[in-house]
Chain A
Amino acid sequence: MPDRSRTRDLSEVPDPDLLARIAQGELGALGVLYDRYERDVRRVVARLASSSADIDDVVQNTFLEVLRAAAGYDGRPNARPWLIGLGVTQIRRDRRSVSRLAARLAAWAREPASPPTSPEESAVTSARAARLRRAFEALSTKKREVVVLVTLEGLSGEEVARVLDVPVATVWTRLHHARKELSHAMSQEES
């Protein structure tokens, strides 16, 4: 932490310094961190949280958690994997809550047979996307986690292993089985 003084423009401040400022209670720095990574965190939450989860709520809680966790930040130049890790923790916490489970069951009962599609998508593409979405939702939570973190967010095996607290080999095994299930589901529906 070379200089902990306030400057007017925080947008150029590197991630580790930003987190050091947040640890000292500087809310402007939290705002900048939010600007940098909110989209990434939100995307992960949208894809991994249970269907009944309040995405906004989980994202907010993730950034509020930063206030507490910032002091323990390990100083890596890019805070994105760490933040995504905090997001995954919040998603798991959210999923565990009993009321969530009840709401999830209720939502499942109400859920339409096929998700809404955008007009830009061709019929074929959207049908395939809808199938993929069903197959993805049928995956176990553990498999969905590795698919999102590795395939969609591009985190390294080591980063994902740290986020999920499993050995790196487990990440690759889970991903292999997830892909197998997804491919199988897609080919089943096609035939």
Chain B
Amino acid sequence: MTHGPCKRGWEVEAFEDGRLSDRDRASFERHMEGCAHCRTATSRLRELGKLLESLPAGERTDLERRRARASLLARANETTIGRDGRRSSRWIALALVPAMALVLFLVARTWPRTPTGTVASTPTASVTAVAPTVAAPLFEVADVDHADYVAERADGVSRVALRSGSASFHVEHVKPGARFLVVVPDGEVEVRGTRFVVEVAAGRTRSVVVSEGVVAVRVSGFEGVLRAGERWPQSPAVSATAAPSAAPPPASPLSPSARTALGPAASETSPSPGSRFAEAMGAYTGGDYGEAERRFIAFARDFPTDTRVEDAMFLLADARARRGDGVGAREAARAYLRRFPGGLRAQEAARLANAPSPP
């Protein structure tokens, strides 16, 4: 790439790399019309560029790419949540546990620019100030059905504003002085280290289902405490069939007997895929794997094109494994892999599919 006999030879590269001004470019174009040397140098440079394109680019198949994607998200999930061995919540695909410092930085940077009118990051009046030395609780949010939410952790308070849809929450132990709140359009749900599912539709909370721990509910005029196995309102059929404009279901005094209202007796005739999936999920997170299995199968059968079928099929395999049904788990995991070879849970499904048979 010598400049050769022409004084303007150095401009060939600058011209090709697009770093000449408009005026210089026009001038050089005129020069090239009459300069064979610069024309040859330009075409050589282009030929070299074309040849460089032939350098190996590490191509691979779509299937390989999907597998790598699933593995990346699994690793990112571990990085985000941590590798705490006590966690059993690997079913969560979209975990949301930002690092404390990161969130403080973001909130500080973005809050002033948050447009007015969004429910998003408006602190609610019910949040009391806490000592900033207390770490806000760690939590995981899983989208159960079109969950539209915003999550924040700051000054000892973790807050998720759930505007609509259904999401399930898993909260680690809440230290004294720290709080975890789910802010819903018509109230809030406060937590003490637990797993639960909240469903919001048409600006109103439809249901809160607790599978682990204790939850304080202050929603639609109701105030009370829900324990593992309890739900508000009491009957799932009421929340699923109530018209959006109907008055909220009456608050029910929750007694230990309310526990039986959830579980196998829960309605399977709920109309929406969202509530059907939430029910299956509730059984699963509540540890009722037999019931979860039945509900995931029914979900995949009744809503074959729903995007959550992938979750249902994987969780079916997982529920069977947890129930000790190794053969059934392998079968379900293989069915998952056949249908979703590059799925988000492909790695874990492969592990279940290849698990050794029990003696």
Query: Which residues of chain A have a CB within 8 Å of any CB of chain B?
Result: 1-8, 20, 23-28, 30-31, 34-35, 38, 42-43, 45-47, 55-56, 59-60, 63-64, 67, 71, 115, 125, 128-129, 132-133, 136, 147, 150-152, 156-157, 172, 175-176, 179-180, 182-183, 186
A selection of 9 A-B contacts at a CB cut-off of 8 Å is: A27-B77, A38-B65, A38-B68, A42-B57, A43-B57, A125-B54, A152-B55, A157-B17, A157-B19
State the majority secondary structure of interface residues on B: mixed
B75 touches A60 (CB 8 A): yes
B115 touches A2 (CB 8 A): yes
A27 touches B80 (CB 8 A): yes
B51 touches A3 (CB 8 A): no
Known: A24-B151, A60-B71. A179 touches B13 (CB 8 A): yes
B146 touches A8 (CB 8 A): yes
Known: A4-B120, A46-B58, A179-B1. A31 touches B69 (CB 8 A): yes
Complex interface: chain A residues within 8 A of B17 (CB) = 150, 157, 172, 175
Complex interface: chain B residues within 8 A of A5 (CB) = 118, 120, 148-150, 163
Q: Does B103 contact A (CB under 8 A)?
A: yes
Q: Mark B174-197, 1 if CB is under 8 A from A, else 0.
A: 000000000000000000000000
Known: A25-B97, A152-B52, A176-B13. A71 touches B2 (CB 8 A): no
Contacts of B79-94 to chain A: CB distance below 8 A: 79-80, 93-94
With both beta carbons as reference points, the residue of chain A lying nearest to B307 in the complex is identified as A8
Contact of B51 among A8, A47, A129 (CB under 8 A): A129
Complex interface: chain B residues within 8 A of A64 (CB) = 72, 75-76, 79
A24-B151, A133-B56, A151-B52 given; name 16 further pairs at CB < 8 Å: A4-B150, A5-B150, A6-B150, A31-B73, A34-B72, A46-B58, A47-B56, A67-B80, A71-B102, A133-B55, A150-B17, A172-B17, A175-B17, A179-B48, A183-B1, A186-B48
Query: Which residues of chain B have a CB within 8 Å of any CB of chain A?
Result: 1-2, 13-14, 17-19, 44-45, 48-49, 51-58, 60, 65, 68-69, 71-73, 75-77, 79-80, 93-99, 102-103, 105-106, 110, 113-115, 118, 120-121, 143, 146-151, 163
Q: 8 nearest interchain CB pairs?
A: A46-B58, A25-B98, A180-B1, A129-B54, A43-B57, A179-B1, A132-B51, A1-B110
Known: A35-B69, A182-B48. A25 touches B58 (CB 8 A): no
Q: How far does the alpha carbon of A115 sit from the alpha carbon of B54 in the complex, in Å?
A: 12
Q: Give the distance to chain A from B52, nearest Cβ to Cβ, in Å.
A: 6
With both beta carbons as reference points, the residue of chain A lying nearest to B149 in the complex is identified as A6
Q: How far does the alpha carbon of A5 sit from the alpha carbon of B121 in the complex, in Å?
A: 10
A30 touches B72 (CB 8 A): yes
B98 touches A24 (CB 8 A): yes
Complex interface: chain B residues within 8 A of A186 (CB) = 48, 51
A6 touches B79 (CB 8 A): no
Q: How far does the alpha carbon of A67 sit from the alpha carbon of B48 in the complex, in Å?
A: 37
Q: Give the distance to chain A from B74, nearest Cβ to Cβ, in Å.
A: 9
Complex interface: chain A residues within 8 A of B115 (CB) = 2-3
Complex interface: chain B residues within 8 A of A128 (CB) = 51
B105 touches A71 (CB 8 A): yes
B56 touches A30 (CB 8 A): no
B69 touches A152 (CB 8 A): no
B98 touches A23 (CB 8 A): yes
With both beta carbons as reference points, the residue of chain B lying nearest to A55 in the complex is identified as B58
Q: How far does the alpha carbon of A149 sit from the alpha carbon of B76 in the complex, in Å?
A: 27
Q: How far does the alpha carbon of A106 sit from the alpha carbon of B263 in the complex, in Å?
A: 61
